[in-house]
Amino acid sequence: MSLKKVEKEVKKFVSTIKDDPDARLRSREEFYKKFGASDRGEFGYGNSEIAFMKWENDRVIRSSDASNKGSEWWNAVNLRFIYLSELGAKAKEFGIPKSELPSPSQFWVDFIERPSESTWYRAHNSSIIDGYLKYPSLAKKENNSEQVLINIVLYRLLFAQAMVEGKDFAFGRLGRIFANPRGTAVNLITQFEYFYPTNYPMSPEDKRHLLGQSHDLGVFGMKILDDVLIEPEFAQLYQDASDWNRQPKLLNLLVANKPAYPDGIPKSEGEKKYLIRMLTFFRKLFS
């Protein structure tokens, strides 16, 4: 079968699940039952993705507001991700040369052939970055708080990849354990309203949590992760991730060392509290 026929077949499949979030989730569950090297948890290397996709389905693809159809951007990026993954799997099945595929699909072939934490992150993250780069016009329709969240989701994902890649700034060997996609960390984190909002569009309370304006202990823990541990490493993190995932245009999403997707304007998460500023200062001082 030629690449064009495979692409047509995959596009046809994606069209059948376009308006059915549950069918999308089932498709990913079936993918990992087949390719996930399931030796811990039902979906093996797909455990983290499935957990996050359940949050997506409940919070941003299906809106919590009955009068709102959900996020066009999240919807499109999710479908693009599935397309690139399925394209890699079908190309592998029909013997399409890997060199003929887009880079994310090449990484999915690598993952299918050699399942590991590193090959999974490169397949997954390159596909997500591809979606970010493909749909900035849809992201511009999101309000400011939603755009801040989109940037946070991206840099947390890149940081998790850095943990698996064993970067010193991402906890080295210990990070590999925390960020293992076969583990339960993502499932737990997506259940914390401080880390990921429970409504779309965000409620006022969601926005306060996101911007660190509430005094909850969970919000403080979230800001330590984002502002103290990740933010000082933005430049190196985005550079490394652009190399790992063969996505050089990822660097365009960081402006003046601040996340700036989708319009090149740095996105503010609000004024940092004094204790966070102090911890960030010492983090930089001793790094």
pLDDT one-digit tens code per residue, 11-48:
999 999 999 999 999 999 999 999 998 765 689 999 99
Top-confidence residue, 277 or 32: 32
pLDDT at 272: 62
CA atoms within 13 A on the CB side of 175: 20
Residue 258 pairs in a beta bridge with 255
Region of 30 on the Ramachandran plot (φ > 0 left; ψ -120 to 50 alpha; else beta): alpha
With pLDDT > 90 as the criterion, what percentage of the chain qualifies?
A: 67
- Residue given tokens 């959900």 in the structure block: 70
Q: Which two structure tokens, joined as six digits, stand for 193? A: 């309203």
Among residues 87, 19, 78, the alpha carbon closest in space to that of 54 is found at: 78
Summarised one tens digit per residue, pLDDT across range 40-71 is 568 999 999 999 999 999 889 975 555 567 89
**pLDDT bucket at 170, cuts 50 / 70 / 90:** confident
Neighbours of 30 (CB within 10 A): 12
Mean pLDDT, the chain, rounded, equals 89
The mean pLDDT of 82-95, rounded to a whole number, is 98
Contact 149, 56 (CB under 8 A): no
pLDDT at 169: 84
**pLDDT bucket at 223, cuts 50 / 70 / 90:** confident
CA atoms within 13 A on the CB side of 239: 6
Summarised one tens digit per residue, pLDDT across range 231-249 is 989 999 999 999 999 999 9
pLDDT at 274: 45
Residue 280 has pLDDT above 60, yes or no: no
Residue 254 pairs in a beta bridge with 259
**Apex CA 54: angle with CA 75 and CA 35, to 5°?**
95
C-alpha dihedral, 280 to 282 to 284 to 287, nearest 10°? -130
